[in-house]
Amino acid sequence: MQLSGFGLPDYRRLLRAALDHDYEFYTVAEYLDAAETAPRSIVLRHDVDRRVSNAVALADVEADLGIDATYYFRTSTFDPEIAKQMASNGHEIGYHYEDFVKERGNPHRAHTRFAANLASFRQHVPIETVCAHGNALSPHLNIDMWNEDTRTPADYDLVGRAYEIDADDDGSSDRMYLSDTGRDWDASVPGFGAVRSTDDVVQALESGDCPSVYLLAHPSRWATSGVQRLERVSWDLAAETGKSVANTVNTVRQADGRFGSPARVLRTLRSIASTGIPGRK
Ligand SMILES: [Zn+2]
């Protein structure tokens, strides 16, 4: 896990580097629809799992740079006004579906629910592609709703699904898959080497060695303020190491009777991180 490099300025720097090195940006629908694509391209995807305001912040950075991306909203994060605003700025809005898990693996009920949710999104914005939400706590995979039923995306007038884009994180296909999951890009670009931090991504894009990219950025992982940065880091650490870290963070916070000095909290978090996290690859 990288403890820095996931703030809005870092995100802007990453996009800037891509633009400066002639990468062309595509939404998922644009890419799936294109007969031919630019020699160097980035398909830019966002799964809005939480924190809609962070998605708005990322969309604003992109609009400022003239970049279009795809934002996949869950029913819990979909806000019609925000979606309409994003769409009017050129972004694609997609449905981040989780109907198979919600219906506990029943394909018929999942499709009924999927159809209803898709229709309700479409009352506000066009939806051309969908993307499965992952839920580690469920034994079911949302993409399986397509395997256990004869209905296809075309039956729903969809251009396609996010996972139909071929990409890999080690250069074994023509397109690099770069995901911020775990706040660590955790990829390897042939000719360049390991890509862990956002600085690595920027340098890989600048090196000329990086091929086309399928980039997934979860808005909730990109801090839009100093407080959010600390919150995110402690959340990620807690998720990976268990409650003991959460308790430590709380102790650190309470020591000052408020959030504490950001530098001090960050120092403590760094020391927790550097002692090694069991089970972390
Ligand atoms: Zn998700």
For 257-267, the pLDDT digits (tens) are: 444 555 665 66
First to last CA, the chain: 10
Cα of 202 from ligand 1 centre, angstroms: 25
Whether residue 240 is predicted with pLDDT greater than 70 in this model: the reply is: no
Region(s) of the chain under CATH 3.20.20: 8-221
For domain 8-221, the question of CATH label 1.20.58 is answered with no
Cα of 134 from ligand 1 centre, angstroms: 5
CA 112 to centroid of chain Cα atoms: 27
State if pTM tops 0.75.
yes
> What percentage of the chain carries pLDDT values higher than 90?
73
Cα of 42 from ligand 1 centre, angstroms: 20
For 36-79, the pLDDT digits (tens) are: 999 999 999 999 999 999 999 999 999 999 999 999 999 999 99
Per DSSP bridges, beta strands 92-97 and 70-73 are parallel
Cα of 256 from ligand 1 centre, angstroms: 35
Q: What is the pLDDT of residue 270?
A: 64
CA–CA dist 184, 58 (Å, integer): 18
CA–CA dist 31, 36 (Å, integer): 9
What's the mean pLDDT in 2-8?
Answer: 83
Q: What is the pLDDT of residue 248?
A: 57
- Residues in contact with 247: Cβ distance below 8 Å, sequence separation at least 6, in sequence order: none
For 167-208, the pLDDT digits (tens) are: 999 988 899 999 998 889 999 999 999 999 999 999 999 999
Q: How confident is the model at residue 225 (pLDDT cuts 50, 70, 90)?
A: confident
